[in-house]
């Protein structure tokens, strides 16, 4: 049997896709995998922040379209790139969520300097408003500058001195095998709460393909599925978009599921937070429903604090900044 996997062409995307293929081959000897490479608009446009050209959904929609057209059997996405405010194509779904990598962010410098030890006024490269608003709370003196490109490009810009530090997802560095050799310090969730779905993969395919679903079930991780269900339920109820500074991190331990969340204004002057947890039996048939309910409960806490206005104001501020820059 052969399965065709649609994927972006970046090194990280290919590493993730090949890992998925290897996991499937372990469960199904004789299975062959073919990669269908897609260059997305998000990959082509490197001179502007993603939010200005359509958001992270640009990394998903064109890859998804290849599957919809029947040119591939399924697609592998970084889950944090899958929008919470835009539904997948009709008949498509996230058929499998494999085991999650470290969801935290890391601060990368040439010598491993941590956040507290960065020199005053240091230039920190990141295009993520979520990261900026949280880190500037810790170090308001730092200068945050836009940084696009794949992992390799960003690390090169750091080495060239274009930035004193950059912020990356630990998962990307770990999956590409460079985390251990890259000087970095981990940013704990109480300093920089991760993006919804960060560190997880989403395998998208046709809901009607029973054979494919049976194959992909072999690499499903129930704990990761429950975590991302809570996080995405929170994001979807908030109606967050690519301009929003929203973070969410679910953790499961000792029979409980906990969800921490944050919403901030565009400039970071206002920051709302909410936390809730619940007893959860991961093997229960109601586990997914309970996780979804927890996500909506946390969203309700944020909405009661005025999250909707912050999200709308952030979208307006982003549009105004885009008009000024153009």
Domains in the chain (CATH in brackets) are: 1-98+200-220 (3.40.190.10), 105-187 (3.40.190.10), 222-326 (3.30.160.40)
Q: What is the pTM of this model?
A: 0.92
Round to whole Å and give the CA distance between 18 and 24.
10
| 3-state SS, residue 196 | coil
Among all residues, which ones are annotated catalytic? 81
Query: pLDDT (tens digit, 9 = 90+) per residue, 141-192?
Result: 999 999 988 999 999 999 999 999 999 999 999 999 999 999 999 999 999 9
Q: What was the pLDDT predicted at 53?
A: 46
DSSP code string of 147-161: --S-HHHHHHHHHTT
Query: pLDDT (tens digit, 9 = 90+) per residue, 270-294?
Result: 999 999 999 998 888 899 999 999 9
Round to whole Å and give the CA distance between 93 and 219.
16
């Amino acid at each position: 049997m052969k399965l065709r996997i649609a994927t972006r062409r970046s090194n990280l995307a290919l590493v993730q896709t090949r890992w998925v293929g290897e996991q499937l081959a372990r469960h199904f000897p004789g299975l062959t995998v073919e990669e269908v490479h897609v260059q997305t608009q998000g990959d082509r446009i490197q001179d502007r922040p993603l939010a200005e050209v359509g958001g992270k959904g640009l990394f998903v929609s064109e890859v998804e379209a290849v599957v919809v057209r029947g040119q591939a059997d399924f697609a592998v996405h970084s889950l944090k790139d899958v929008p919470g405010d835009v539904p997948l194509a009709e008949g498509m779904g996230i058929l499998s969520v494999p085991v999650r990598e470290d969801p935290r962010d890391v601060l990368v410098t040439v010598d491993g300097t941590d956040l507290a030890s960065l020199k005053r006024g240091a230039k920190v490269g990141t295009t993520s408003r979520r990261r900026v608003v949280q880190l500037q709370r810790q170090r308001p003196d730092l200068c945050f500058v836009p940084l696009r490109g794949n992992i390799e490009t960003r690390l090169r810009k750091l080495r060239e001195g274009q930035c004193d530090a950059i912020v990356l997802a630990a998962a990307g560095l770990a999956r590409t095998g460079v985390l251990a050799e890259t000087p970095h310090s981990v940013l704990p969730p109480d300093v920089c709460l991760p993006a919804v779905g960060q560190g997880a993969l989403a395998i998208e395919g046709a809901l009607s393909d029973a054979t494919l679903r049976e194959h992909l079930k072999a690499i499903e991780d129930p704990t990761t599925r429950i975590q991302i269900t809570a996080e995405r339920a929170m994001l979807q109820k908030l109606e967050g978009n690519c301009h929003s500074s929203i973070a969410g991190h679910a953790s499961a331990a000792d029979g409980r599921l906990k969800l921490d969340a944050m919403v901030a204004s565009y400039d970071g002057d206002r920051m709302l937070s909410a936390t809730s947890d619940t007893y959860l039996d991961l093997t229960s048939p109601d586990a997914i429903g309970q996780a979804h309910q927890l996500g909506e409960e946390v969203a309700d806490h944020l909405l009661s604090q005025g999250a909707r206005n912050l999200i709308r104001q952030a979208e307006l501020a982003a549009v105004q900044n885009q008009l000024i820059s153009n």
